[in-house]
Each structure stands twice: as C-alpha cells, then as structure tokens.
Structure 1
C-alpha cells in the first residue's frame, strides 16, 4: 500500500462526515475569536485608554478581550465533541476492516489465523485514531488561529500583515518540501523495528538449533546488524527535527524579528505604540504557536498516522487499490486455466517415469500447492505445465491453448514461471521490473514493490532508477525482484517453482498472499509446507499415485502429507495409518 491509499482512505473518511466537519469548523471559528480580537483590543486599550490618560476606557477594552476569551473557551469544549463525531466512526470502520481481513484469511481454504491481526486491532488502529484526531486538531487550529492573526494584523496595518506573511509562507514551504523525506525516514524506522523484532524472534525460537549447529556468532551478528540498522534509522528520524526547527525559525520567529527591527520605521509612518504592541501579540500568541503546533503535530503524529495506516492497508487493502488485486473466486468455464491429460514423462527411454498418465485440471482463479519429497518430480511438473519441456505422451492446455507447438511469445502471454534460481539482469531496478510489463508506470512499480514486501529492498538499492548488479545481490533479493516482476506480468497463470526458498517465512507468506490476491491462477511448488496451508488445494507427489485435495482431506488420506506437516509444525504423525488412495 502506497501513500495514495492512505490519502484516499483519509479523504473518504472526511468526505463521509462532511456535516460533522462543518460543525467542527463552525465551533473552531468561534474558538478563534480571541485570536482575532486580542491584538486589536489591546491596541485600542493602549492608544485610546492608557496612553490617552483614560483608565476606564482602557479597562473597558480589556474587559471586552476577557469576554472574547470566555467565548473562545466555551467553544473549545464543543470542538472536541465535534471531533469525536468524526474520529470515532473512522476508528470503528478501520477496526471492522482489520477484523474482516483476518477472518477472510483465517477461513479461506488453506488459510491460517494471523496473530499479527491482534496487534493491528489493539495497537495500530488506536495509533491511527489518536493521530488522526491530532491531525484534525492541529490543522484546523493552524488554519483558524493563523488566519485570525493575519486578519487582525491586516486590520491594524496592512504593511505589518505583509511583513509577517512573507516569512510564514517561506517557513511553510520549507516544511512541506521536507515532508516526503520525513515520511520516508519514518517508514524506514518502522520497518527497521519490525525487522529487528523478526530477527530476534527467529533467533530465540531456534536457539537450540543455533547451538547445535554452532551458529551463535552468525546469528548474533545478524541480530546486531538489525539493531544497528534500527538505531541508525532512529537517529535519522531525530535529525529530521532540525528541519522542523528551521521552518519554525523562519515562519514563527523571523516575523517577530522583522517587526521589532521595522518598528521605528513603522512608527515614523504613523503606526501607534498600541498598534505595534497589538501586532506583537498577534505574532507571539497567535501566529507563532499555531505554526509550532502544526509543524510538530504533522511532523510527529502525522507521519506516524501515515506509516501506521499504510501498514494496516498492506494487509487490509482498499477494494480497488492498484497494489491490491481483487480476491479471486474460481470460475470454472469451458477453458480452465490448466488442463493436463495423460501426461507421462521420463528423463530417458529406459528410465522410470517421473509422471505416469498424470491428469490435472486447474480452474481459473485456483490456488494449488504442489508438495512432496525432494526429487519426486515437482519441478518437472512445473516445467511441463509451463511448456518448457515436452511430455512423452499426453497434452497440456493453458486457457484452451495447447502448449506444444505454441509460439514462445504467445506462450509467454499465458503463463509466467519463476524458478528457484531467479534471473536478474544488470540494469535499473525499474527495467528489471518492467521486463514482462513494459507499460507499467513508476506508481504501479512502487505499488507492486510495497505489496510484495520489497519496498525496503528498493529503498536500500536507491529507488527505481538505481542500477542493479546481480552479483552483489543475495539469492533472496534476486528472488524478491523476480517475484515482483512476475506479479506485474499480464499472464493469467503464475507458477512459483520454489521461487521463495531463500526468503524468510514471514516474507514468503507476504509474497504468496500477494500472488493469491492477484487476478488469475497460481501454482506453487512448495519449499515449505506452510505454502500448502495457504493454498486452496494441495497436490501431493510421493512417487506413487498423486493425491489432490484440501489440507484437511490430505491429512486424513496421505501418510506422506502427514509426515511433511509434522516435520514442519512438530505435529505427531499417527502411527500405522496407511495413505488412502483415490480410486
């Protein structure tokens, strides 16, 4: 999920509550009455009262200011009530979105409960609610308080208003220009914290294996690297506070300096002492605090809001977001995505067949995982389905097209195969990603990178325009780039042949879930049994008769599958249970 999704969801939340927002704006206008009148009333009290020797007149003007302050204080309570009418429904909708996504993933065929959904619901949603409310308050506070101060300054003396407005605009421009970099650093800080948590959890969960393999130094070094990365990201975020200070200095303090330096000149042009004092009040109690609150609020809570909501939307995407393909529903038709009939394949005329009279039908939108012991023929099946090798007998059809004899360019439009050894060529990252989809714009590429969890890798490389050198990439990094490239491809069938084996389990789940939501069909040659648990159907190859079914069905019917599941999850394999074979 990119920032566009955050902006769109925020706009939808505000647009749906236009009446409550109008009420909030109305009370904010009343609340700004003291900011509008303070400088003017003080100027009148000084010029018409105290300096003129009329004490009663001066006190009357100050009494009017006290009344204005009371009116503003009464309106403040109403603004918070109006704020709740906007924020709380948004929080409820976001919580419902998280719950629906968690239930969908847990109840779909092959799905598993997502423990991270609890953190999203109890922690991240609350962060979004609090920072959303804070953003509304600081934004409307700045608009009304700064606007009232500038109007008051203009009423006192237009030239003073111009002297104050110029540095204010410059300070705001500096802050706005730095916001994208601030958001990027805040996002990197959050991701570094997540990666540190994953590395620490993995090390703690596998400490016995680490000790048994003598890999303590390697694991400690990895965790130390994550700690250093997280600390560096935090220091960078802290340094960005200097940019906020610069914008505050320009927009908040510089107008005061300018007014004080120009005061003698202004007085010679007829500005009274009361007007100078009133202008100082407008700047010091109206304009400067409003800008300070805006910069600190947006630079702190606003960035946390954007990054946290972005994390939520990555797992609970908007229905038509370009980074979130719609959930696929199998729709069997006259031309299934894959139809293999009577396939027999052997690697030599006298060799034992790897597959014998094998048949498989895969409906459009289906999600199949292929599991089995090493060397049983899983990658061979992937190559046969992709049309890379011919079978000795039998046929393979993709969307009704027989792969044998089909032009390679036409075949590439029907399927994309990602092998275990991912191919990445020397060029820019964007060129690598556009290899199968040349018309993809930068926004689409960025959305795909974020969807498959490759955003941190892209930023580490230097962005879409950064050069990619395959030799300096790890096997996992090459696999991740190849996965994003395949996800972008227009082909309706994707075959992942152990294409995520060098990724950690969490990132592998992110990649496979992204492909599962992608329109089309998916075949995963599983490296881990967890891939089977995410699939809608599972095909077990064990050198005997292949078995096809759901996870629950195969647990009851296949001893091989039970052993694979037990080896992964530590589940006991029921003794003495032979695999039930289909007739």
Structure 2
C-alpha cells in the first residue's frame, strides 16, 4: 500500500472514529434488522417441524406470529438507521466542498466546476448509499448464517462455499471497475474544461470562423467519454455473475442435495428455512451489494482519491521573484509576436516587439478593435501567440503570481468584502493592509458605505464602477508584480481613474500596463504604445505627438476634453474616490 492510499485510509478511519457515537447508533439499530432476518427463516422452520408437521397447529401459528412481529420491529430499526446516516454523509460533503472551493476557485481550476457540481455530490450520495448497503449486507448475512447454524450446521456446508465464490468474484472486479470509473471521470473533467473555455470565447470562435475546429475538438472529448462509459458498462456486466454464483447457485445446490441432506437428519422445516434465508435475505442482499457497492464503491473510491489527492498535489502558483523579474530581465518582453483569431483569419497582432522594464508604466492606445485587449490577453497568458516569444518576469506567461489582469467588466462574487479583496492572495490579508490598498485606489469610502471588510457583498447591488473599485483593490493586494488594466477604470470619473492609476504606478516593485480610453491615461504613462493595424509605434507622449500622425489624430479627436480632464484631476485629488459618481460612464472616444 503506497503512502497516498495509506493516508487516505487513515483519514477515512479518523472520519469514522470522530463519529463513534453515530456509528454505534447505526450498529445498535441494525441489530433489530438482523433479528428480523434470523426469525424470517427460523420461525417458519420451527412452525413446520414443531407445529404443523407435528399436528400442533397452534404452535405453528405461534411461530408464524413471532415472524410477523419481527417485521415491524425491523422496519422501525431501519427507519432509525436512515436518520443516523445523514449525520455521516453531510459532514463528508461539507469537508469536500471546503477543499474543492479552497483549491479550485482560488486557483481558477477549470476542473473545479465538475468537482464541485458533480463529483462532490457523487461522493455524498454514494457514501450514504454505501453505508446503508454495507450495513444491511453485514447484519443480514450475520442473521441468515446464524439462523442456518441454529437450524442445522450441515446447511452451512451447502450455502457458504458458493456464497464465498460470489463474494470473491465481486472483489476481483473492484480494481478494474475503479480504473474504468476514473477514466470516465477524467473524460468528464476534460469536457467540463473544454466547454468552460469554449463558452467564454463563442464570439471569437464565430468571428474567426472556427466553428468546425472547435466542434471537432469537443466532439473528440465526448467520444472519449462515450468509450469510457462503454468499458465501464462492460465490467458491470461481468460483475453481474457474482450474485448468480453467490445467491442463486446455493438454491440450486440446496434443492439438488435435499435427499442427501434429509438422509443425514436435516428436517423439512430446516430446508424450508434455508430456502427462505437464501431467497428472501442472502440473495437480495448480495444482489444489492454487488450492484450498489460495486458501482458506487468504485465511484466513491475514485472520486475521493481525485478530490483528496488533488487537494495536496495540485500545483501552486510559482512564487514571485523578489523585487519582480530576475536581475537584468524586463518585466514584460514580446519578440516577433503574431496572433490571429483562427487559422485563416488576418492577424490582429503581427510581429510585435515590445519591452516594458521593471517598474515601467505603459499605456496602449489605438482605434477600437485594433487589438489592444488582445495584447494584454497575450501577456496574461489568456491567449497563446501563433508565433514569437512572450516573457513575463523572465518566464512564459501564465503563472497568476506574475501578473494580474483586470478587464473592463470587473469580477465580483457573492461573499464578504474581505473575501473579494483577498481573492488573489494565498495568505490572509490583514485589516490595515486591506484598508491601505482600498485607500490607495480610492475604494475606501465605498467599503465603509458597504459596512466594512466583513460586510456581505451582493454583486447585483453594485454599480459597474463600484465593481471596478473592488477589483482594483483586489489587484493592488495581489502579489503579482505586473498589473494589466484593460479599460478597468472606464466606469470611473477622470479623478478616480487618475488616483487608481497613480497608485498602481507607485506600487513598490510594480509594473503597470493600461489599455487607455482617455488621453489623460496616456499622458500619465512613461511610454505609450500606439496600435494601428499592422503598424505600431512606441514612445513618450511628446515623442509620439511629434512623429506619429495616428497618435495626433487620436489626441485631437478628444476636442479639448484632455485639458478638462487634467484640470479635474488637479482640482479635486482628494475627492477622487469614485463612490459618489461611480457608475457614470464617460465617453471612451477612439482610444
């Protein structure tokens, strides 16, 4: 047994040990069920041998009455068993949900959707069913075998060997079934991850004419899950032989050997009682065990192994290099980067070279649809370049610890303000640190109005600008040295936008890239990247005014608004909280 399995068994044992009282109550109420099983065969046997066959009908009726009284007693015990099973199943579900949420949601795992909505529920329901099945089989078997022993020990010689063969056959299918079940769940996770990716980019798929390619990829994953389901079903058929060997074969043997048994002192009543045990107790219990525990047990084993193993073995974000990128490496570097939305589509970005030094502040401007957001998505690793090389902090893009991207539509989830602000942090955020970040980006008044850090947050009750302020404070608290603001302040007024951008620009060890929608953002930046289809230019605001006709057109399109915005920033820097005027959407213009 390897260390991982041993740890899983130890954890499972600890789970039951901590609930000894519940397990004890389950066993105590199950004794009534075992007693009913024992009397179900023993009472008719005694009714025949000591009653009706002995010409004492009242004695026979008395034994049948005892069997009848045992039925409601056993049903009462079974009802109490169901109440105690919930005390085992619900804590298991809660513990698994906490693990999946802590790992999957925080680290943005696509498979977390399948785990949380599908696999955790499988584990809870299957576990409850298995507790009922295993308990029922054990106490039913104990009652039936005890009854056979009391009737005549010779009956055990006929019943026990085929029963053992059936159980051995059932056990032999457990490992192959578990492997097939795991393959099926892996295929299900792959489909969930693919659909999560496709659903987020349907407009891009349509725009690029990639419907056939995407459909082929999704279809291949669906076919793989279908094949895994077929193999799982085949092993289920093989397992069906177990109840035949263990439940039906003893009946045939008992009938065939009846003359031999009666010749050795087995009474007719004992034979009837043995048949009753087989047909009414052991055979149904074994049938239920092999179908329920066989399929459900394999499924539970695989699901728990994936959920528990993933909790410890899932990769963590790479640590942020101290002070940002490695010595000598720029914060962001693009060399010959080309990207298009589809194999036959015209590239949106073609041969782009760009270097942003550690601590740099870059604004990206250009006409609508020219590819500004595409560049930030490439840097963030959301999109993969068709050609060229991208490095963020000296490494390929991707690790969330290196960069944080805030899009135009900010993401805020139901929970507390503190939960939202600390979403990108592995460690808890101290109150003073959270308040300092909120003050820096202009979200302090909003948080106070909401009720503080521990106040509940309802995304539907927030305006678009308020959601942007929460997202900006979250990004400010993240450990990522590179911050990408893709029109992340478009719903804030100019003063609030200026305050937020200046906070990020002054963030220790931070690098800021802003997709600008106001000319003031370009003026604040150390350098500006002008995108104009396949042509790009990069320089300071004044350098681009001198040499770039496109940039002069973009600046001139504002018709004097730039001066008004700059004046608003200087006149009311302390009022730039974004809370009073939040939700007002200023014209974005052509940038």
- Give the TM-score normalised by the residue count of structure 1: 0.57
The structural deviation recorded for 1:8 is 3.8
- 1:68-467 paired onto structure 2 within 5 Å: 68-101=70-103, 106=106, 120-121=115-116, 123-317=118-312, 323=313, 371-374=332-335
Of residues 259-268 and 304-313 in structure 1, the stretch that sits farther from structure 2 once superposed is 304-313
Structure 1 residues 278-309: Cα deviation after superposition (integer angstroms, max 9, x where no partner)? 00011111111111121111122223323333
In structure 2, distance between residues paired with 1:552 and 1:10: 53
Which of 525, 536, 540 is equivalent to 2:395? 525
Structure 1 residues 105-130: Cα deviation after superposition (integer angstroms, max 9, x where no partner)? 64xxxxx6668767655554333222
Indicate conservation of the 8 Å contact 1:372/1:540, yes or no: no
In structure 1, distance between residues paired with 2:505 and 2:173: 55
1 or 2 for the larger relative contact order (CA 8 Å, sep ≥6)?
Answer: 1
Could you say if the C-alpha distance between residues 113 and 228 of structure 1 is closer, same or farther in structure 2, counting changes exceeding 3 Å?
closer
In structure 2, distance between residues paired with 1:329 and 1:339: 11
Indicate conservation of the 8 Å contact 2:45/2:269, yes or no: yes
The structural deviation recorded for 1:560 is 7.6
In structure 2, distance between residues paired with 1:260 and 1:291: 20
Number of residues of Structure 1 aligned to a counterpart in Structure 2 = 389
Indicate conservation of the 8 Å contact 1:195/1:226, yes or no: yes
In structure 1, distance between residues paired with 2:203 and 2:90: 47
Partner of 2:50: 48
Indicate conservation of the 8 Å contact 1:45/1:61, yes or no: yes
Gaps of 5+ in 1: 107-111, 318-322, 344-354, 359-369, 377-497, 506-521, 543-550
Q: What secondary structure does 1:32 align onto?
A: helix
In structure 2, distance between residues paired with 1:92 and 1:204: 29
The structural deviation recorded for 1:45 is 0.5
In structure 1, distance between residues paired with 2:317 and 2:193: 28
Q: What secondary structure does 1:130 align onto?
A: helix
Q: What secondary structure does 1:22 align onto?
A: helix
Larger radius of gyration: 2
Partner of 1:37: 39
In structure 1, distance between residues paired with 2:518 and 2:57: 93
Could you say if the C-alpha distance between residues 580 and 50 of structure 1 is closer, same or farther in structure 2, counting changes exceeding 3 Å?
farther
Gaps of 5+ in 2: 338-377, 386-391, 405-423, 426-477, 485-500, 528-591
Structure 1 residues 244-264: Cα deviation after superposition (integer angstroms, max 9, x where no partner)? 211111111111111111112
- Give the TM-score normalised by the residue count of structure 2: 0.57
Could you say if the C-alpha distance between residues 36 and 172 of structure 1 is closer, same or farther in structure 2, counting changes exceeding 3 Å?
same
Indicate conservation of the 8 Å contact 2:481/2:510, yes or no: no
In structure 1, distance between residues paired with 2:383 and 2:325: 31
Partner of 1:21: 23
Could you say if the C-alpha distance between residues 144 and 3 of structure 1 is closer, same or farther in structure 2, counting changes exceeding 3 Å?
same
Could you say if the C-alpha distance between residues 328 and 50 of structure 1 is closer, same or farther in structure 2, counting changes exceeding 3 Å?
farther
The structural deviation recorded for 1:274 is 0.8
Indicate conservation of the 8 Å contact 1:120/1:312, yes or no: yes
The structural deviation recorded for 1:143 is 0.8
Indicate conservation of the 8 Å contact 2:110/2:193, yes or no: no
Indicate conservation of the 8 Å contact 2:31/2:139, yes or no: yes
The structural deviation recorded for 1:203 is 3.7
In structure 2, distance between residues paired with 1:529 and 1:578: 28
Aligned CA-pair RMSD: 4.3
In structure 2, distance between residues paired with 1:373 and 1:212: 25
In structure 1, distance between residues paired with 2:5 and 2:162: 29
